[in-house]
Amino acid sequence: MFRIGTYRWQINQNAGVKLEEISSSIYEVLTAYVPREDVFRGEPMCRHTTFRVGGEAQCFMRISNREQLFRVIPYLQKVEIPFFILGNGSNLLVGDKGYQGVILQIGDKMNQISVQEDLIIAQAGALLSQVSKAAMEHGLTGLEFASGIPGTMGGSVVMNAGAYGGEMEQVVEQVTVLDKNGEVLELSRGDMEFGYRTSVIKNRPFIVLEVQLRLKAGAREEIALKMKELSGKRKEKQPLEYASAGSTFKRPEGYFAGKLIMDAGLRGYSIGGAKVSEKHCGFVINTGKATAADVAEVIQEVQDRVYDKFGVSLEPEVIFLGDF
């Protein structure tokens, strides 16, 4: 698998291997490309997702720069080991039996942010909260909506993240990506083919390296006030006190997922430690001791009941990864 944010690309459907089959020789090659202290075997993925559930990844690598990707990805393709590109893990459900492959995390080791007049340039691992704060500090408006979204820049442009009337497509100027042949491409806003929670990257073998955002000059105090206002709305309406992946389902055309779920009588519905939030029915939460299977079963039950009652198919925003 080759994924970033909500994007998935299947390199080889039958390339799954068991933990012991990632040999010491393969491990040695990987540690020649990435420092040994950034390569982990049997890493619990509950440490790296906002759901706080998930089994072990066979191998977990923290990526510091694009050069490491240029070396690691062709090698993994050559030896036919599946891999997955991870950001902040905010839209991801990893199975309890783990992931048979390599997780490449583009996170806080690849999160530089720079500001040039009304242009913000952010590496793929930069958190949206960090980029929004940088925009505010430089008196740039247009990104306030993203200040509370718990994702990275890479994932946010892949899924065209949005909230409170704003979406990434409104501010993206250019996205730098790596393609399956190891070529670096520059995609303009038009090239990105943004749609509701989608972009061209969801259907192409690209990895986001860097994003350029074009904002507008504004009053710093007003920007900060708007961010505070939106933060208050999130705290009031969303179950932020629990582990979750944010909104669990995409908004079906003509409906609101949360209302459909509530009207289907599923407010508070639970299996094990997973539960439909009573505060906002669009969220499936981990009440503390959920398994990935619990979460997946709640999601499935919600989909089944809403379809049976209203004939509406709810599509998860959450990516399912690994073995359940």
Cα 241 → chain centroid: 19
d(CA 259, CA 75): 47
**Long-range CB contacts for residues 278-283, cutoff 8 Å, separation at least 24:** 279/237, 279/238, 279/239, 280/237, 280/238, 280/239, 281/257, 282/247, 282/248, 282/249, 282/256, 282/257, 282/258, 283/238, 283/239, 283/242, 283/244, 283/246, 283/247, 283/248, 283/258
Give me the catalytic one of 167, 197, 210, 277. 197
- What is 113-140 written as a DSSP string? EEEETTEEEEETTSBHHHHHHHHHHTTE
One digit per residue, the tens of pLDDT, for the chain of length 324 reads 222 232 232 333 334 445 457 888 999 999 999 999 999 999 999 999 999 999 999 999 999 999 999 999 999 999 999 999 999 999 999 999 999 999 999 999 999 999 999 999 999 999 999 999 999 999 999 999 999 999 999 999 999 999 999 999 999 999 999 998 889 999 999 999 999 999 999 888 899 999 999 999 999 999 999 999 999 999 999 999 999 999 999 999 999 999 999 999 999 999 999 999 999 999 999 999 999 999 999 999 999 999 999 999 999 999 999 999
The answer to whether 48 touches 86, Cβ cutoff 8 Å, is yes
pLDDT of 292 reads 98
pLDDT at residue 307, as a whole number:
98
DSSP letters spanning 37-60: GGEEEEEEGGGSSTT----EEEEE
Give the pLDDT score at 182.
86
Give, in order, the Cα–Cα distances in Å from 315 to each of 165, 247, 257, 285, 318. 20, 11, 9, 17, 9
CA 2 to CA 204: how far, in whole Å?
10
For residue 226, the SS3 value is helix
Cβ atoms of 189 and 169 within 8 Å: the answer is yes
- Residue 228 has phi, psi (to 5 degrees) of -65, -40
Answer for the pair 224, 150: CB distance below 8 angstroms, yes or no. Answer: no
Q: Which residues of 74-107 are buried (b: 16+ CB within 10 A; e: fewer)?
A: eebbeeebbbbbbbbbbbbbbbbebbbbbbbbbb
Q: How many CA atoms lie within 13 A of 79 on its CB side?
A: 18
Neighbour tally for 207: CB within 10 Å: 25
User: CA-to-CA distance for 189 and 156, rounded, in angstroms?
Assistant: 14
Q: Is 199 helix (H, G, I), strand (E, B) or coil?
A: coil
User: What tokens were used for 79?
Assistant: 């030896």
Q: In the prediction, which pLDDT does 18 show?
A: 52
Helix (H, G, I), strand (E, B) or coil at 283: coil
**64 catalytically annotated:** no
Catalytic residue among 90, 199, 247, 277: 247
SS3 label, residue 270: strand
Q: Indicate if 247 belongs to the active site.
A: yes
Catalytic residue at 41?
Answer: no
Please pick, among 56, 167, 210, 317, the residue that the annotation labels catalytic.
317
| Token pair listed for 63 | 């990526």
Q: Let me know the angle formed at the C-alpha of 89 by 135 and 126, rounded to the nearest 5 degrees.
A: 25
**Which pLDDT score is estimated for 295?**
98
pLDDT value for 7: 27
Long-range contacts of 219-228 (CB under 8 A, 24+ apart): 219/139, 220/136, 220/137, 220/139, 222/141, 223/135, 223/136, 223/139, 223/140, 223/141, 223/144, 224/136, 226/141, 226/144, 227/132, 227/136, 227/144, 227/147
